Structure 1
Amino acid sequence: MPSHPLMRHRRALMATSVGNLLEQYDNLIYAYSATTLAALFFPGSRGTAGVLSTFAVFAVGFFARPLGTVVFGHIGDRFGRRPALFISVVVMGAATALIGCLPTHETAGNWAPAMLVLLRLVQGFALAGEWAGSAAMLVEYAPEGRRGVFGSFNQVSTAAGFLLAAAVVAVNEAVFPDDAMLSFGWRVPFLLGAVTAVAAAFLRLGLEETPAFVEQESGTAQRLNPLRSAFTHQKFAMLRGFGFTVGWTVAYFFFLTYLPTYLRTDAGVPAGVVNASSLAGIGVLTVSIFLFGLWSDRIGRKKLLLAGSGGFVLLSYPVMALFSTGSTAAVYGGQILIALVLGCFSGPGPAALAELFPTTVRYSALGIGYNFGVMAFGGTAAFIASAITAATGSGPAVAILPTAAALITFLTVCAMPESYRSPLR
């Protein structure tokens, strides 16, 4: 087990980031497989109705997040970040692999979508513990003056999880013909969840607790119930965390999960162009998150957070109008522009959110603010967007969703103090 501080920092950075990447992959292959899953599990619903049903099941997973937040937050604040993150990644991998083993509607009838819903609930439960725990651990492990760049790896790995999921699904679609995809090929990305779980669990086995948690545990203060303490002393901070998350989560799940389906089904963009442009955009996002996180340690979090949330207020409609043209150049240009704006917020985002809360309740309170925001707005973003498009028949009209959500976050950030130079509580 590494004992030198630099080695501990690197081990924590790798184990936490790679575990989060693989868990995000497990969650997102469902969204990138939406059109295939619609045909297999909701065959009676044609076209838009089938996609709506599939995205509704995707949203269901997010409704298990409050329970996951309570359970993993308690474990993480009371017994340590490490056991909570280890359990989370194992549960997530098992649920993903089981989705790959499900019978389809053709063989199991209505039991098939029912089992799919159940496993999405398990995935949502596990993911609630992952995001908050990885953000807390990265920021608590960061050397002085580097919380922004260390915290950014929470989002670098999240974006990389999107990238990995999109890449695996794209390769899978290229390898398997249509008939083979519907009979077996669709299962392959989900079955890989077993591999990702083993890899992530192995990385986290030897991980040490964060210095901030160890220092807290060595103190003489009475240990309180983390959840009760969070609601007693951190109500306003958690409410701020909720508002902080609204625009952020809508941007992620609108532009990175709904958009590929919209481009295919509504804008008439060829699947190859959609897959390639998505990969290009997510690649730019992954790199830009790191750079903006690094920058936030030098100029502060707030300027970048305002630029990112304000960017979505101003640009969501023009970008959707650009996408609706179906032009290949417009699709690539729009994807890259969105990636840069999202990276501007996501780079400093984890550190800024973690800095709102003290170590004693950080896992619980951060998780409550973040996961309730994701449950309410992130998980439902693709479903609501699909419904708006179906109701209005207008692609650009759907931009009202990310615009309104970003405005909430912009106003929340305006009221937040700058925290990049303040000591971690």
Structure 2
Amino acid sequence: MADANRPEQPAEHRPGGGHPSPTVRSQRVKAAVASTVGTTIEWYDFFLYGTAAALVFPKIFFPTESPLAGTLASFSTLFVGFAARPVGAAIFGHYGDRIGRKAALIATLTLMGAATALMGLLPGYDAIGPLAPVLLVVLRIVQGIGVGGEWGGSVLLSMEWGSSRRRGFMASLPQLGVPLGLLLSTLAVRITSEIAGPAGFDAWGWRIPFLLSVVLVGIGLYVRLSILETPQFARLRQEQTVVKQPVLEVFRTQPRAIATSAFVRMAEQAPFYLFITFVLAYGTEELGLDRDSLLNDTLVAAAVGMITVPLFGHLSDRFGRRLVYGTGIVLIGLFAFPYYALLNTRQAGLVLLAIVVSLVFHDIMYGPQAALISETFGTGVRYSGAGLGYQLASVIAGGPAPLIAAAILAATGSSFWISMYIIGCAVISFVALLLMPQPHASAEEDAESLQRQPAA
């Protein structure tokens, strides 16, 4: 099992083999940077919304509701964005497999950046009444479509330029967008809150981090425009074997791969949004903890993630994707009750420990996850298949998780069944991991070897 997801090394990476050409080396670096910078901006936007949904939006867009009902309504808009992700994966997966990874990635970045900036300009309920939450939902859908198409392209841009020997590590680099985006969004909220004060932040300060996304998008577009198309997709174009209807084709030929890719994320994504979004509402409203202290703890955990995500991607190259990923599933399940027990102490050091450890266990899965899922699909449908499998989890896992947790807390007044919910997610993921198909043969293709092959 440890070696099942480690494709055989191509000749140029075996002892005595050749070395990558200067062109390939240069493009590998550019692809890694372009993917990581882009996903960082995308996740900055997405996490910023999650933070605002927990702390501000109930007052700004749902002021007529009780605090608990306002939180539930706010998390419902969070879920809408998750529900839109598979739509984005299908749209941009189609164009990413038909036209190319680079063009699709430029479009996703522009789309999500525009939606986020407009959120920063959106009037509240007091100004335009019920139209305010309606427009918020519309922008949230646009934002979700953008991030839904982003992940598959970013991962493939980095992975398909990489060597099969280090594919887990290369594919984990775009995953760094999560801790980096979480770090930047939390830092933006923290600094703005400090400058504006609690009242000023709730009144106008929350808009500043949203508007800053315009600057970040400009940087991201500059980086992405400099990268070339991946050798694997370029070969499909040269051989005129590009799939005409990649979304339909992948559903027809690899439905099991799509389903297991979605369910294997249950233990990673559902708890993650409890750890970084619901914890803010739970900690401030239920436990009476200081908001800024929780944000600081999240900053520490995000900083640790910049090390742990690529580390576990690298370890999956050494010991196999499934062994590393399965270890993370088990640890998340075992930590479900200790996590809330540590939070419920209200002791600063133990709360910090709970938040940091929870995200480290998450990263054990998140590091190798991109390669684990992407290697399951063939090159011609990989953007569509990997993106759909990955983003369908948003509907069954990440999107409903804060909403389910808030409903459980409202009904029981206890974290017991929230912990049981986390354990249930872990069980589902472990079964899905066992049922995942083996890597597709085209996953063994290497950028350097493809560069050496003559066009068909």
Select between 161-170 and 222-231 the one with higher mean Cα deviation.
222-231
Question: Is residue 2:349 matched to residue 1:337?
Answer: no
C-alpha contact 1:242 1:370 (8 A) present in aligned 2: yes
C-alpha contact 2:378 2:442 (8 A) present in aligned 1: no
- The 3-state SS of whatever aligns with 1:184 is helix
Aligned residue number for residue 88 of structure 1: 108
Superposed, 1:198-347 pairs within 5 Å as: 198-221=218-241, 223-347=243-367
How many residue pairs match? The answer is: 424
Report the AA paired with residue 316 of structure 2.
Answer: S
Report the AA paired with residue 386 of structure 1.
Answer: A
C-alpha contact 1:352 1:420 (8 A) present in aligned 2: no
Change in CA separation of 1:176 and 1:396 when aligned onto 2, cut-off 3 Å: farther
Question: Is residue 2:33 matched to residue 1:4?
Answer: no
- The 3-state SS of whatever aligns with 1:291 is helix
Report how far residue 418 of structure 1 moved: 6.5
Select between 95-104 and 39-48 the one with higher mean Cα deviation.
39-48
Distance 1:252 1:206 in 2: 33
Find 2:422's aligned residue among 395, 398, 402.
402
Report the AA paired with residue 300 of structure 2.
Answer: A
Aligned residue number for residue 73 of structure 2: 53
Aligned residue number for residue 453 of structure 2: none
Report the AA paired with residue 103 of structure 2.
Answer: P
Find 1:115's aligned residue among 135, 140, 164.
135
Find 1:26's aligned residue among 35, 45, 60.
45
- The 3-state SS of whatever aligns with 1:177 is helix
Report how far residue 106 of structure 1 moved: 0.7
Distance 1:423 1:98 in 2: 40
Aligned residue number for residue 7 of structure 2: none
Question: Is residue 2:131 matched to residue 1:124?
Answer: no
Change in CA separation of 1:274 and 1:402 when aligned onto 2, cut-off 3 Å: same
Q: Which runs of 5+ in 2 are unaligned?
A: 1-20, 446-456
Report how far residue 361 of structure 1 moved: 0.2
Report the AA paired with residue 7 of structure 1.
Answer: S
Distance 1:202 1:103 in 2: 31
Change in CA separation of 1:276 and 1:420 when aligned onto 2, cut-off 3 Å: farther
Superposed, 1:125-204 pairs within 5 Å as: 125-204=145-224
C-alpha contact 1:297 1:420 (8 A) present in aligned 2: no
Report the AA paired with residue 59 of structure 2.
Answer: A
C-alpha contact 2:83 2:394 (8 A) present in aligned 1: no
Distance 1:304 1:269 in 2: 34
Cα deviations across residues 55-77 of structure 1 (Å, max 9, x unaligned)?
11111112222321221011000
Report the AA paired with residue 38 of structure 1.
Answer: P
C-alpha contact 1:301 1:419 (8 A) present in aligned 2: no
Report the AA paired with residue 307 of structure 2.
Answer: V
Cα deviations across residues 263-320 of structure 1 (Å, max 9, x unaligned)?
1111222223211111111221221111111111111111111110111111112211
Distance 1:203 1:266 in 2: 43
Select between 195-204 and 122-131 the one with higher mean Cα deviation.
195-204
Select between 219-228 and 100-109 the one with higher mean Cα deviation.
219-228
Select between 220-229 and 327-336 the one with higher mean Cα deviation.
220-229
Report how far residue 423 of structure 1 moved: 4.5
C-alpha contact 1:300 1:420 (8 A) present in aligned 2: no
Change in CA separation of 1:226 and 1:293 when aligned onto 2, cut-off 3 Å: same
C-alpha contact 1:60 1:120 (8 A) present in aligned 2: yes
Superposed, 1:351-362 pairs within 5 Å as: 351-362=371-382
- The 3-state SS of whatever aligns with 2:399 is helix
- The 3-state SS of whatever aligns with 2:414 is coil
Report how far residue 414 of structure 1 moved: 2.5
Cα RMSD of the aligned pairs, angstroms, is 1.8
Report the AA paired with residue 325 of structure 1.
Answer: T
Report the AA paired with residue 224 of structure 1.
Answer: K
Q: Percent identity?
A: 33
Q: TM-score, normalised by structure 2?
A: 0.89
Report the AA paired with residue 11 of structure 1.
Answer: K
C-alpha contact 2:272 2:359 (8 A) present in aligned 1: no
Report how far residue 400 of structure 1 moved: 2.1
Report how far residue 90 of structure 1 moved: 0.2
Q: Which runs of 5+ in 1 are unaligned?
A: none
Distance 2:348 2:271 in 1: 22
C-alpha contact 2:270 2:398 (8 A) present in aligned 1: yes
Question: Is residue 2:400 matched to residue 1:380?
Answer: yes
Distance 2:306 2:315 in 1: 15
Report the AA paired with residue 16 of structure 1.
Answer: S
Change in CA separation of 1:65 and 1:107 when aligned onto 2, cut-off 3 Å: same
Report how far residue 422 of structure 1 moved: 8.6
Cα deviations across residues 342-396 of structure 1 (Å, max 9, x unaligned)?
1111111111111110110001011111111112221111111111111110024
Select between 355-364 and 290-299 the one with higher mean Cα deviation.
290-299
Distance 1:281 1:179 in 2: 27
Distance 1:301 1:340 in 2: 17
Report the AA paired with residue 72 of structure 2.
Answer: L
Distance 2:325 2:71 in 1: 33
Report how far residue 339 of structure 1 moved: 1.9
Report how far residue 223 of structure 1 moved: 3.6
Distance 1:422 1:71 in 2: 23
- The 3-state SS of whatever aligns with 1:209 is coil
C-alpha contact 1:288 1:344 (8 A) present in aligned 2: yes
Select between 14-23 and 398-407 the one with higher mean Cα deviation.
398-407
Aligned residue number for residue 10 of structure 2: none
Report the AA paired with residue 47 of structure 1.
Answer: P
Change in CA separation of 1:390 and 1:6 when aligned onto 2, cut-off 3 Å: same
Distance 1:407 1:9 in 2: 37
Select between 85-94 and 173-182 the one with higher mean Cα deviation.
173-182
Select between 113-122 and 207-216 the one with higher mean Cα deviation.
207-216
C-alpha contact 1:266 1:395 (8 A) present in aligned 2: no
Select between 339-348 and 2-11 the one with higher mean Cα deviation.
2-11
